[in-house]
Structure 1
């Protein structure tokens, strides 16, 4: 495990505006992980479960649902970043795109960038850009953005 990046307030985010915040260590999108996610959201299509049939499909393997990578972002973010003295509230996403399938066994890395920092009357908002990549491939499998509102724990 790499050392976490510590963020303690507005100034830390402003200093990183427009910069890559982190690239995560590889995460294996295992068949069990994909199928567990599918069961949790009742997405029981054959191309998530039937290995033989999926092998003969255009994908060539079991594939993850589109929202799979989106669901991993929270935990991967906090494996790489430690917030100190801040409260956070997820405000939403303006875009999310699936560019190609994630196959069982793919090694994924998350790239997370501080796109913009917006000072508000109370607290501030950080606009993040993210992309998931299969290791060894430059084109992302998914990409999008998030907006998170932050306040000091003293506010």
Structure 2
């Protein structure tokens, strides 16, 4: 099985001068964010915030003999990083406001182990005009450095208003 292409570093943020330009860019790869380190402290903070203290996330001694050989990030921690990655992948100038409208098809194909580096890679799947703006479906794959499968793949839905 081949690994993801992690040789390339982050790409410059893809800038659209105004929301309507998204309509002509459907199907395009938008770029990649810089790499981001996943450490045990961040996983513990997420566990505290969500009250999800399952041992596979927060107990390094027990997790060492578990199915992943150590602690892994919560899937929802990996998903939550998409909000951090998106502005590093795409920027819509000329919008008076952008809002998260939702998500479709969230998947967690591979565990994100403590010490891993992850990044977001975006692709514009679809865009539709709406009254006063544009709605865009952007697939963000959270790649794990050196791994064949991403830690998360989510089709985000954003609305950008003029």
| Partner SS, residue 72 of structure 2 | coil
| Partner SS, residue 81 of structure 2 | helix
Query: Which moves more between the two structures, 52-61 or 121-130?
Result: 121-130
Q: How much does 1:82 deviate?
A: 3.1
What residue is the counterpart of 2:111 in the other structure?
101
Matches within 5 A, 1:1-155: 3-86=12-95, 87-152=97-162
Paired residues, what number?
Answer: 152
TM-score, normalised to structure 2, is 0.85
Distance, in Å, in 2 between the alignment partners of 1:25 and 1:89 is: 23
Q: How much does 1:95 deviate?
A: 1.3
The alignment yields a C-alpha RMSD, in angstroms, of 1.7
Which ranges of 4 or more aligned residues in structure 1 deviate by more than 4 Å?
none
**Please, which runs of 5 or more residues in structure 2 have no aligned partner?**
1-9
TM-score, normalised to structure 1, is 0.89
Distance, in Å, in 1 between the alignment partners of 2:29 and 2:148 is: 15
Distance, in Å, in 2 between the alignment partners of 1:10 and 1:4 is: 15
**Please, which runs of 5 or more residues in structure 1 have no aligned partner?**
none
